[in-house]
Amino acid sequence: MIGIVNYGAGNIFSLTSALSRLGITYGMINTAKEFDLYSHIIIPGVGHAGAAMAKLQQTGLVDTIKALKKPVLGICVGMQLLTAHSEEGDAQMMGIFPLETKLFNKDLGIKIPHMGWNNIEPKNNLLFEGVENEAQFYFVHSYFIEYNVTFDIATVIYGSAFSAAIHKDNFYGVQFHPEKSGAAGERLLMNFSNLK
């Protein structure tokens, strides 16, 4: 069963709707003890990374999240919270990945925010099992995770290459919204729910 970290970081209705469609049971996590009720954890998030991190710190759940040994998936801002630092608000994040969250460079002639469907190039990782190469996923963001070959498991090109998904130990992050990405996104959520 999936536990969704509830720290007031935006509307999670589309995520819970997608999990319900897939028949994946879920519940909300509000306290450290509630992590024990679930086999898999999702950290959602929309909006401002610095503000989201401040909200997460207020819950007192940061140390518990960092110590988790079960599969954890950060989605969008939830992924950015896993990095070391975000330029959005010049804020320290949880530091699970030694990566920077950076603002897109408008000098590259791209629209900010990056909004809409984009092809990704997934690597050989259980999170993307059965997801076709060049599959499209839905993005809405102004900040991105710097590309690092050590942690990158899916790359996207928007102005330049950045990480659409990252993986380290039991922690995963996706910049796109799988819950809004049709069949490919639903397959990813199902894959995550089946991780050991």
What is the domain-level CATH number for residue 137? 3.40.50.880
**Catalytic-residue membership of 40:** no
What percentage of the chain exceeds 90 in pLDDT? 92
Q: What is the pLDDT confidence band of residue 79, given thresholds at 50, 70 and 90?
A: very high
Integer Cα distance of 61 and 166 in angstroms = 22
Mean pLDDT of 147-168: 96
**Catalytic-residue membership of 134:** no
Q: What is the pLDDT confidence band of residue 106, given thresholds at 50, 70 and 90?
A: confident
Alpha-carbon radius of gyration of the chain: 15
Which of 40, 48, 76, 88 is the catalytic position?
76
User: For 50-63, what is each residue's pLDDT tens digit?
Assistant: 999 999 999 999 99
Q: What is the pLDDT confidence band of residue 31, given thresholds at 50, 70 and 90?
A: very high
CA of residue 10 relative to chain centroid, distance? 14
How much is the pLDDT for 157?
94
Number of domains in the chain: 1
Which of 40, 88, 167, 179 is the catalytic position?
179
Q: What is the pLDDT confidence band of residue 132, given thresholds at 50, 70 and 90?
A: confident
**Catalytic-residue membership of 179:** yes
What percentage of the chain exceeds 70 in pLDDT? 100
Q: For residue 62, what are the domain limits?
A: 2-194
What is the Cβ-side half-sphere exposure of residue 191, based on CA atoms within 13 angstroms? 17
User: For 5-15, what is each residue's pLDDT tens digit?
Assistant: 999 877 799 99
Q: What is the pLDDT confidence band of residue 92, given thresholds at 50, 70 and 90?
A: very high
Is this prediction's pTM over 0.85?
Answer: yes
Q: What is the pLDDT confidence band of residue 72, given thresholds at 50, 70 and 90?
A: very high
The Cα-based distances of 58 to 7, 24, 31, 110 in angstroms read: 8, 29, 11, 35
How much is the pLDDT for 135?
87
Identify whether the C-beta of residue 143 lies closer than 8 Å to the C-beta of residue 80.
yes
Mean pLDDT of 72-96: 97
Which of 40, 48, 167, 177 is the catalytic position?
177
Q: What is the pLDDT confidence band of residue 133, given thresholds at 50, 70 and 90?
A: confident
Mean pLDDT of 73-101: 97
